A and B are shown apart, each in its own frame.
Chain A
Amino acid sequence: AQRVTQPEKLLSVFKGAPVELKCNYSYSGSPELFWYVQYSRQRLQLLLRHISRESIKGFTADLNKGETSFHLKKPFAQEEDSAMYYCALAIQGAQKLVFGQGTRLTINP
């Protein structure tokens, strides 16, 4: 069955420190993976997608098929990065997204 696992419900780091939000997936097909972010009092929005291999707001994520992971990383955390982060997997011909449980990231000053 398709599954996305984010093992950390909460993650707290200091400003300027590196950040890594973990995401592991289970899927028999070719995976398409995404990170979504929800800032306080804002709607959920797309942060980045693995197919684009882009860096958004300093965040990057590399798909590792061997480890079935898609961890989100940023070398130097900023206070405005505090938010809820969801990893998501596209399935069924990309008609559906399966989300992980989410990680609440807090950046301490």
Chain B
Amino acid sequence: DVKVTQSSRYLVKRTGEKVFLECVQDMDHENMFWYRQDPGLGLRLIYFSYDVKMKEKGDIPEGYSVSREKKERFSLILESASTNQTSMYLCASRSPGDNYGYTFGSGTRLTVV
């Protein structure tokens, strides 16, 4: 089974802090994604990556950046955390030949105070 592991289940950060959310997958998947999940809004794509050192903006990239230096790891960075970034963050990965089945991590619930 593919495993997508997000390093933290819960995080509390202060406004203005730089925040790193880490995601690691163990099945050599090319594609990785960061979504945020908010009640009533569903999942919204922040950034995704087709391969190492490649990244593309999703629907709500403002205030975020990403890093993919190794195939298995995809990091989401909040440059200066704000309270409106309090949310559940979900990482996912897939192989392009996998009939679109995404494997999700268990999520990181981030609270910015």
Binding site for A on B (CB under 8 A): 31, 33, 35, 40-45, 48, 50, 58, 90, 92, 96, 99-102, 104-107
Q: Is A97 an interface residue (CB 8 A)?
A: yes
What would 13 A/B residue contacts be, using CB atoms closer than 8 Å? A6-B42, A9-B40, A43-B104, A43-B106, A44-B104, A86-B43, A96-B48, A96-B58, A97-B45, A98-B45, A99-B42, A101-B40, A101-B42
The listed residue (B42, B99, B101, B102) touching A102 by CB distance below 8 A is B42
Q: Is the CB of B100 within 8 A of A94?
A: yes
Q: Is A45 an interface residue (CB 8 A)?
A: yes
Q: Is the CB of A46 within 8 A of B42?
A: no
The listed residue (B42, B99, B101, B107) touching A86 by CB distance below 8 A is B42
Q: A52-B99, A97-B33, A102-B42 are in contact. List 6 more A-B contacts (CB 8 A).
A: A32-B100, A43-B104, A90-B100, A95-B31, A95-B48, A96-B48
Interface set, chain A 26-45, CB cutoff 8 A to B: 32, 34, 36, 42-45
Give complex CA distance A43, B41 in Å: 18
- By a CB distance below 8 angstroms, the chain A residues around B105 are 43
Render A73-109 as a binary contact track against B, CB cut-off 8 A, 1 for contact: 0000000000000100010001111111110000000
Query: In the complex, which residue of chain A has the Cβ closest to the Cβ of B105?
Result: A43
Q: Is the CB of B100 within 8 A of A43?
A: no
Task: State how many angstroms separate the Cβ of A101 from the closest Cβ of chain B.
Answer: 4
- By a CB distance below 8 angstroms, the chain A residues around B33 are 96-97
Check A97/B100 contact, CB under 8 A, given A43-B107, A44-B90: yes
Q: Is the CB of B102 within 8 A of A97?
A: yes
Give complex CA distance A96, B31 in Å: 10
Check A45/B104 contact, CB under 8 A, given A99-B43, A100-B42: yes
Render A8-36 as a binary contact track against B, CB cut-off 8 A, 1 for contact: 01000000000000000000000010101
